[in-house]
Amino acid sequence: MPAIKFRGVDFIQYDSLLTDEERLVRDTTRQFIEDNLIPIIEECNRAGRFPRELVKPMADLGFFGASLKGYGCAGMGNVEYGLMTQELERGDSGVRSFVSVQSGLVMYPIYEFGSDEQKQTWLPAMQKGEKLGCFGLTEPDFGSNPGGMRTRAKKVGKEYVLNGEKMWITSGSIADVAIIWAKVENEDDMIRGFLVETNRPGFKADDIHGKWSLRASVTSGLSLQDVHIPESNLLTKTGGLKSPLMCLNQARYGIAWGALGAAMSCYDTALQYSLLRKQWRDQPIASHQLVQDKLAWMISEITKAQLLVLQVGRLKDAGKVEHQHISMAKRNNVWMALECARMSRDILGANGVADDYPIMRHMMNLESVKTYEGTHDVHSLIIGQSVTGIDAF
Ligand SMILES: Cc1cc2nc3c(=O)[nH]c(=O)nc-3n(C[C@H](O)[C@H](O)[C@H](O)COP(=O)(O)OP(=O)(O)OC[C@H]3O[C@@H](n4cnc5c(N)ncnc54)[C@H](O)[C@@H]3O)c2cc1C
């Protein structure tokens, strides 16, 4: 079977809804992924290796903090940013996760909640990929309900002292700085964000091994034992759970687009394969009605998902997006992508379980994507709360 090369997915002249700049960002990212990630991703996935060699080239293309303005950042519109994450995840969810964390979960909170000094110290270096970041919210006992967190910060003189455990932290052991969310003892346990340099005494990051998902992304547990940081490391504008949730909204928006990329990769692989693979009377399997039904389902759902994220992106550009809009896009598109991965895997038969094709890797990655940044069901509750006014958590 000849190698299958991604051709893009556009059933309803979707491209005509995009500006020239938006198409340029998508096409540039697509080419970068084709040239740099596709040739190595299966090896990275097998080895459980994050392709760190791509950090600098990604920085050079403006992928980090891409939607922020100033500090060397690209200042992309939200649809451009979304199309970039779509193409990154068409390559691999792990690489897209790295970019989402660096941009939406570390640079964004510094940009939004940080002092001028914090911004000058971190943002240009992070944009260039010289410094990497991670976001520590989840704990061993608190995932969907982060408000229960046990990590504590105590003000002592001109310092804060941090103690606690964080779990499932993307890029934890490769980060230079961690955004740590903690309850401040002297402030009625209010949740606040802190910049913690990872070389401080008492800070430890240990990688989680044995993941069947996001194998090309580093995931770690963090331990903070009497970690002293100067008071100037507090992100002063943070206050309450709303602050980390604002960061998650940024990252969830990128995920909604990213999942679409994984779905497109699976669908296009299955479509091309079904036209090449012959069974029964020397006919391609694409000639069977049941195979066509799967392809029709996938192209319909991908097209609907494209329109959903595009509208959410346009609302975000207009400053009119609400968190429940982003929840709908994340929930729908990740579910849709997982269904596409399962159907595409089926169309490839036995070949579907091998890493000569990207489908099984996408399927396993998407299981994490379904869980992180608010699980599928948590987003159901957010949408339910929005339409009924009733909190069902
Ligand atoms: C690979 C990977 C990378 C990650 N990276 C990061 C990171 O960088 N930073 C970070 O802070 N976190 C990260 N996470 C953690 C992630 O955000 C959490 O796993 C997620 O919030 C879910 O928490 P949990 O795993 O503890 O599941 P739980 O909260 O224990 O949920 C388990 C199940 O219970 C369901 N459930 C929970 N509450 C309700 C309810 N009220 N009603 C109905 N059902 C409910 C959930 O939907 C889910 O199905 C990562 C996770 C993974 C897998």
For residue 168, how far is its CA from the centre of ligand 1 (angstroms)? 9
At 53, list the tokens. 């060699």
CA–CA gap between residue 299 and residue 264 (Å, rounded): 9
Using CA atoms, how far apart are residues 105 and 255, in angstroms rounded to an integer? 12
Q: How many residues does the chain have?
A: 393
Q: What is the mean pLDDT of the chain?
A: 97
What pLDDT is recorded for position 3?
76
Output the CA 357–ligand 1 centroid distance in Å.
Answer: 29
Within 6 A (CB) of ligand 1 lie 101, 135-138, 143-144, 168-170, 214, 219, 368, 371-373, 375, 377-378, 393
Atom 9 of ligand 1: nearest residue by CA position: 169
Catalytic residue among 87, 139, 301, 373: 373
Task: Identify the pLDDT of residue 1.
Answer: 61
List, for residues 315-325, the tens digit of each pLDDT value: 999 999 999 99
For the CA of 145, the nearest atom of ligand 1: 29
Low-confidence ranges of the chain (pLDDT < 50): none
Residue nearest to atom 27 of ligand 1 (CA): 143
302 Cα to the center of ligand 1, angstroms: 25
Mutate to test the pocket of ligand 1, among 105, 144, 214 (most ligand atoms within 8 A of CB): 144
Nearest to 35 by CA among 68, 70, 5, 79: 5
Q: Taking the complete model, does pTM exceed 0.85, yes or no?
A: yes
Longest Cα–Cα distance of the chain, Å, equals 82
pLDDT at 353: 97
Minimum-distance ligand 1 atom for the alpha carbon of 105? 8
Task: Please say whether the beta carbons of 236 and 223 come within 8 A.
Answer: no
- Answer yes or no: 373 catalytic: yes
